[in-house]
Amino acid sequence: MVSADHVAHKILTYIPYVLVLIDLRYEGVKCNRDGGVDNHMEMGKKLLAAGQLADALSHFHAAVDRDPNNYMAYYRRATVFLAMGKSKSALPDLSRVIELKPDFTSARLQRGNLLLKQGKLDEAESDFKKVLKSNPTNKEEMEAQSQLTKSDEIQRLVALAHSSFSNQDYMTAAAQLDTVIETCVWDVTSREMRAECFIQMGEMGKAISDLKAASKLKSDNTPAFYKLSTIYYNLGDHEMSLNEVRECLKLDPDHKQCYSHYKQVKKLNKQIQSAEELIQEQRYEEAVSKYEGVMKTEPNVHHFSHLAKERICHALSQAQQASRAVSVCSEVLQSDPENVNVLKDRAEAYIQEEQYEDAIRDFETAAKHSENDRQIKEGMERAQRLLKQSRKKDYYKILGVKRTAQKKEIIKAYRKLAQQWHPDNFQDPAEKKKAEQKFIDIAQAKEVLTDPEMRTKFDHGEDPMDPESQQGHHHPFQGGFHGFQGFNPFGSGPFNFKFGFN
């Protein structure tokens, strides 16, 4: 084992050598400090010319650190920042150049151009005028004069845009601001005003584009994020609304408007996500209840109530609650008649209700707006097949009796079903309509199967109640319920249905 005294002796032995190395390293740094700025400047220029901007920037950073009064180091670094599209970083460097060397016209001209793009017109004009008063090259003089003229025109347009906006002439104001922003591409104020014009004109997509630009151009722009969130919310995009209001709260966690809006959007977003999860899990009744909650949470934004009803329509259709589904789907289609998903859902509900012709019409309408939808094609074929089958009635199945049933059994089955499906037993219009058709089928089945001649024809594959197979001969139920006048299925005596179909 090595003793502690031995270790201490070794350390003391090496200390002189370590001190010598530190002294040598210090001298090397000192030498580099004396001649390093020029080296960094030269390397930075070469890398900039080669397009290696990040490496060039590192050298100019080093040059500025070593000599904070070297105006060319700031100028070169500003040039790299501009090449990298970082104008915000370039502007302070150009200002430092002008501070160190006020007669550096190239730097002043570049700063004037950046200020003009930012919409700082007075400051830009000041730079252009000072360039003209200095000793510029012909090229610099021409550029400064051109930019000064452009700046004057922009000043005039800005004043006109403000006047148009005050007079609520938003279309004119937006057109004037278009020209302003073509030059002042980083002007936050002009973009926010144009966004407000677009909002008033109902062009929300354009408003969003301007507000997104404004939120990036100004680092602490909480009003832009709040307005973006409210626009998305009113458009029914709860997820984007939540994203934007969160950005607002990142900048200012105590922002009252953003925090209040955040709570509302978060609650709504959670309800919608929960409802969709329930639909995925086929828990349709719970999903319906959750979407009803969405409408209570936000009763004033049409897009959310529309979305809720659309999804309730789907859930009810999937839950085989056809009558309710038809009702809700129809309500959605009144305001959105080309909604393909709702048309498909209502068509499915119609199939469940055995209203095949209505289902086919919905599938046909949906197909016009979504030609290659496989679900529509398959649904259409199924509805057409079911319609064809429904037209070939099996009177034995309708009454629920065997083909060998006696007349007494047939009449007994008929009376039971006729009492069950009597249309007067139903109040809901859709249910009543369904009962009427059932009642007709039941009565037709009884008529055919209790008449020996008609029963024989039916047993041989001919439907005595089918007008086409009768070749124009009259049958007792032609004309709907009129054929039932005076016929009482529950006993003797006259009987009239109280349907009001006369």
**pLDDT for residue 33:** 41
**pLDDT for residue 9:** 40
Reference 191, options 167, 203, 172, 174; nearest CA is 174
Percent of all residues in the chain with a pLDDT value above 90, rounded to a whole number: 74
Tokens 């809720």 map to which residue? 308
Torsion angle of C-alpha atoms 343, 347, 350, 356, degrees rounded to 10 = 130
Q: Is the pLDDT at 16 greater than 60, yes or no?
A: no
The CA-CA-CA angle for residues 40, 45, 46, to 5°, reads 100
Taking only the tens place, the pLDDT of each residue in 284-322 is 999 999 999 999 999 999 999 999 999 999 999 999 999
What sections of 101-137 are H helices per DSSP? 105-117, 121-133
Q: Is the pLDDT at 404 greater than 90, yes or no?
A: no
- The predicted model gives 70-96 an average pLDDT of 94
**pLDDT for residue 460:** 65
Lookup: tokens for 465 = 């109640």
CB atoms within 10 A of CB 172: 15
H/E element, 477: none
Q: Is the pLDDT at 234 greater than 60, yes or no?
A: yes
Q: Is the pLDDT at 343 greater than 80, yes or no?
A: yes
pLDDT class of 469 with cuts at 50, 70, 90: low
CB 398 within 8 A of CB 441: yes
pLDDT class of 41 with cuts at 50, 70, 90: very high
What does the alpha-carbon distance between residue 154 and residue 122 come to, in Å, rounded to a whole number? 11
Q: Is the pLDDT at 414 greater than 90, yes or no?
A: yes
What does the alpha-carbon distance between residue 245 and residue 241 come to, in Å, rounded to a whole number? 6
What sections of 184-235 are H helices per DSSP? 188-201, 204-217, 222-234
Residue of higher predicted confidence among 81 and 371: 81
Q: Is the pLDDT at 419 greater than 60, yes or no?
A: yes
Average of per-residue pLDDT values in the chain: 86
Weakest mean pLDDT among 36-45, 148-157, 207-216, 460-469:
460-469
The DSSP line for 144-190 is: HHHHHHHHHHHHHHHHHHHHHHHTT-HHHHHHHHHHHHHH-TT-HHH
Q: Is the pLDDT at 30 greater than 50, yes or no?
A: no
Reference 233, options 248, 253, 214; nearest CA is 248
Alpha-carbon distances, residue 72 vs 27, 35, 108, 346 (angstroms): 27, 16, 13, 73
Domains and CATH numbers, the chain: 34-155 (1.25.40.10), 320-391 (1.25.40.10), 397-484 (1.10.287.110)
Residue type for position 95: S
- The predicted model gives 314-335 an average pLDDT of 96
Alpha-carbon distances, residue 498 vs 246, 432, 480 (angstroms): 63, 12, 14
Residue type for position 334: Q
Reference 120, options 185, 194, 213; nearest CA is 185
What does the alpha-carbon distance between residue 347 and residue 345 come to, in Å, rounded to a whole number? 5
Weakest mean pLDDT among 35-39, 301-305, 492-496:
492-496
Alpha-carbon distances, residue 392 vs 32, 251, 273, 387, 389 (angstroms): 101, 71, 46, 9, 5
CB 130 within 8 A of CB 140: no
CB atoms within 10 A of CB 20: 10
Q: Is the pLDDT at 407 greater than 70, yes or no?
A: yes
CB 268 within 8 A of CB 299: no
CB 136 within 8 A of CB 105: yes
What does the alpha-carbon distance between residue 110 and residue 35 come to, in Å, rounded to a whole number? 30
**pLDDT for residue 413:** 93
**pLDDT for residue 225:** 97
- The predicted model gives 236-260 an average pLDDT of 96
**pLDDT for residue 180:** 97
H/E element, 421: none
**pLDDT for residue 409:** 94
Q: Is the pLDDT at 93 greater than 60, yes or no?
A: yes
Residue of higher predicted confidence among 260 and 25: 260
pLDDT class of 342 with cuts at 50, 70, 90: very high
**pLDDT for residue 182:** 97
**pLDDT for residue 34:** 41
pTM of the model: 0.68
User: How many residues does the structure list for the chain?
Assistant: 502
**pLDDT for residue 20:** 31
CB atoms within 10 A of CB 218: 16
**pLDDT for residue 470:** 54
Residue 114 has, within 13 A of its CA and on its CB side, a CA count of 21
